[in-house]
Structure 1
Amino acid sequence: MNGTPRRRGWEGITDRPAWAFWILAGPFFAGLVVFGHLPLLWSIYLSFFEARNTVTPTEFVGLANYARMLTSRAFLDSLLTFTLFALFVVPLTFALSLGLALLLHRARRARPLFRTACFLPAACSYVVAALVWRLTIFNGLPSGLANTVIGHFGAAPIAWLAVTDPPWYWPVLVSLRLWLQVGFYALIFLAGLQRIPHSLYEAAYVDGASPGWTTFRHITLPQLRATSIAVLLLNLIAAYQAFDEFYNLLGADGTYPPYARPPLVYLYYTALGSGQDLGRGSAGAVILALLIAAVTLVQGRLLGIGRGPR
């Protein structure tokens, strides 16, 4: 054939005009700006004003809202709740998801079925899962699943969500979050395990290393360093953003003390409760966002984001 051959496949994509990109990506960016960036900027602006029962600022108060939040015992107690929640959830999620990923990686049969089963809880709504936990598993009745299990060991039924002393609600909250997210992070670890060259293990076996803890410590863990950092950071941010399980298990009736609520639940009651103090609620949201960013940066610095495997 005469003339220049027509380019096909990926080579011709760069010749397409820029408007094709914006037709595909424009609606996404527009939604992100309208429903994400603009409300965020307005919340920051609103935090410097007095705004009660309205989203329109009425009086400039400077940093007064921030000072009130930082001196509020209830808000500081909610941050303590997050700290306790993170201390339970983050290490347990990391250990359980890594262990589950190792089991999936060793599975020789029905591996796609096991992967799907692990991911199914992540597709479940937090609200639905919280209601199942509250109404069936930890309902406090002798016929509830949790009380039935401990009853076989001679223990008396426990009112899991009806008392705060002792705080039996913690096993309910932690077990719910673990069930919802362990499978998801296990798949992330599984993807990291599948990227480790098998030749590294073969070389270790030739040098006399035995399969098990030795190869796991000196090969598997160092090669999973980037994946481990990602899982830890995502877990920590998710713990800060805990809302659905706390609200649906503890906060819906408003009878639980402030220390039984994480920051987002407390800010929800501050901004949308009976007082509707949107200015102070916006200041608390900005403080929480800055705290998440600071902790994430510090953790990333300590874990060495950007460095390769040791």
Structure 2
Amino acid sequence: MGEPAQLQADRLGRLGRFRGSQDRNLWFWAFVGPFTVGLLVFVYVPIGWSLYLSFFDARNTVTPSDFVGLGNYRDMLTDPAFVDSLGTFTAFAAFIVPSTFAISLGLALLVHNARWLQGFFRSVFFLPTACSYVVASLVWKLSIFNGVRFGLANTVLGWFGQDPVAWLSVTHPPWYWVVLVTLRLWLQSGFYMILFIAGLKRIPRDIYEAAAVDGAKPGWQTFRWITLPSLRATSTAVLVLLLVNAYQSFDEFFNLLSSSGQYPPYARPPLVYLYYLALGNGQDFGHGSAGAVVLTLIIAVVTVAQGRLLGLGRRDS
């Protein structure tokens, strides 16, 4: 017997709601589905498994059986090397966050106010963003800041009668910070410049015209009282992104300072230390996962606190 007409109508109605008008729901999942599966398999499952491993003594295995509870977290929070890596991040962030913010904002103002070739200058400054951190690190290490006298930086110093500097091999003075900071500035300033340019384009020109009528002088006075307050939301977002990216620094430290598979005992950010802890000779996945969870929580807390302090998401911003 055929199914009743009412049941058939209900089934077709549910099917129609599932498919959506003109099969829009099916097309949505056809495009989003592969990305969702990849995100689940390659992001959320590893995160969940890392959280699971952080509660076990997982040495040379990803299927441990020795449950240690919060022991790995206690060990990491009392580990001098891990705590020192957080201090390295703090030093790096103290250099890179304000300098990138200032340079990106300055470039955005220059490009936005340029009368000719705006598109060209935007492309020139944004182009380094597409460069691989690994490739850029090798260029900085082998060509620009090479420790021998043939490196570009030492060649320039030689023009002024200065001796060559071993940029990446000495800790007193810590010249390696010059290499690390300049590399990161070159790679990311163009990206944040684009964000600031987008914010500048949202500022109505009427505000500047009204300020000029009221006697405001162009330049610093206009920038201080009109441009900078109008960029509050963009500035807050840029600062949050810069701080999070500083926490996640890895490629430049690993590729600039490591040699022959070894890493010097200085300038280890958290991710580099956790990399050697979890994937080094000991392969201590338990402590490495616990350190990763601690670092994630620190990033989340600092990001939320910074966003609240700077007013990210407020309606008046």
**Normalised-by-shorter TM-score class:** over 0.9
Give 1:250's aligned residue. Answer: 257
- Mark the CA change 1:61 to 1:124 in structure 2 (over 3 Å): closer, same or farther: same
Structure 2: distance between partners of 1:44 and 1:62: 11
Structure 2: distance between partners of 1:14 and 1:88: 52
Give 1:15's aligned residue. Answer: 21
Equivalent in 51, 56, 65 of residue 58 of structure 1:
65
Give 1:68's aligned residue. Answer: 75
CA contact (8 A) 1:82 1:239 kept: yes
Give 1:85's aligned residue. Answer: 92
What amino acid is aligned across from residue 68 of structure 1 in structure 2?
D
Equivalent in 101, 104, 123 of residue 97 of structure 1:
104
Partner-residue secondary structure (3-state), 2:146? coil
CA drift of 1:91 comes to 0.1
Equivalent in 139, 153, 167 of residue 132 of structure 1:
139
CA drift of 1:57 comes to 1.6
Structure 1: distance between partners of 2:187 and 2:37: 31
What amino acid is aligned across from residue 245 of structure 2 in structure 1?
A
Moved more, 275-284 or 14-23: 14-23
What amino acid is aligned across from residue 92 of structure 2 in structure 1?
F
Structure 2: distance between partners of 1:293 and 1:115: 32
Q: Which runs of 4+ in 1 moved over 4 A?
A: none
Structure 2: distance between partners of 1:231 and 1:281: 29
CA contact (8 A) 1:222 1:309 kept: no
Structure 2: distance between partners of 1:246 and 1:219: 39
Structure 1: distance between partners of 2:33 and 2:313: 31
Give 1:191's aligned residue. Answer: 198
CA contact (8 A) 1:226 1:308 kept: no
- Within 5 Å, give how 1:1-310 maps onto structure 2: 15-17=21-23, 18-252=25-259, 253-257=261-265, 259-308=266-315
TM-score by length of structure 2 reads: 0.91
CA contact (8 A) 2:20 2:26 kept: no
CA drift of 1:119 comes to 1.1
CA drift of 1:109 comes to 1.1
Unaligned runs of 5+ in 2: 1-18
Structure 1: distance between partners of 2:258 and 2:272: 7
CA contact (8 A) 1:223 1:309 kept: no
Structure 1: distance between partners of 2:238 and 2:194: 11
TM-score by length of structure 1 reads: 0.93
Give 1:3's aligned residue. Answer: none
Q: 1:261-284, CA deviations, whole angstroms, 9 ceiling, x for partnerless residues?
A: 100000000000000000100000
Structure 2: distance between partners of 1:101 and 1:153: 33
What amino acid is aligned across from residue 16 of structure 1 in structure 2?
Q
Structure 2: distance between partners of 1:58 and 1:73: 27
Q: 1:155-178, CA deviations, whole angstroms, 9 ceiling, x for partnerless residues?
A: 211000122222111000000000
CA contact (8 A) 1:251 1:265 kept: no
Structure 2: distance between partners of 1:165 and 1:214: 42
CA drift of 1:31 comes to 0.4
CA drift of 1:142 comes to 1.1
- Mark the CA change 1:194 to 1:28 in structure 2 (over 3 Å): closer, same or farther: same
The number of aligned residues is 297
Structure 2: distance between partners of 1:217 and 1:75: 41
What amino acid is aligned across from residue 108 of structure 1 in structure 2?
R
CA drift of 1:19 comes to 1.8
Rg larger in structure = 2
Moved more, 269-278 or 150-159: 150-159
Q: 1:254-304, CA deviations, whole angstroms, 9 ceiling, x for partnerless residues?
A: 2411x4110000000000000000010000000000000011011111101
Partner-residue secondary structure (3-state), 2:233? helix
CA contact (8 A) 1:122 1:180 kept: yes
CA drift of 1:14 comes to 7.0
Structure 1: distance between partners of 2:146 and 2:72: 39
Query: What's the C-alpha RMSD, in Å, of the aligned pairs?
Result: 1.4
Structure 1: distance between partners of 2:315 and 2:217: 25
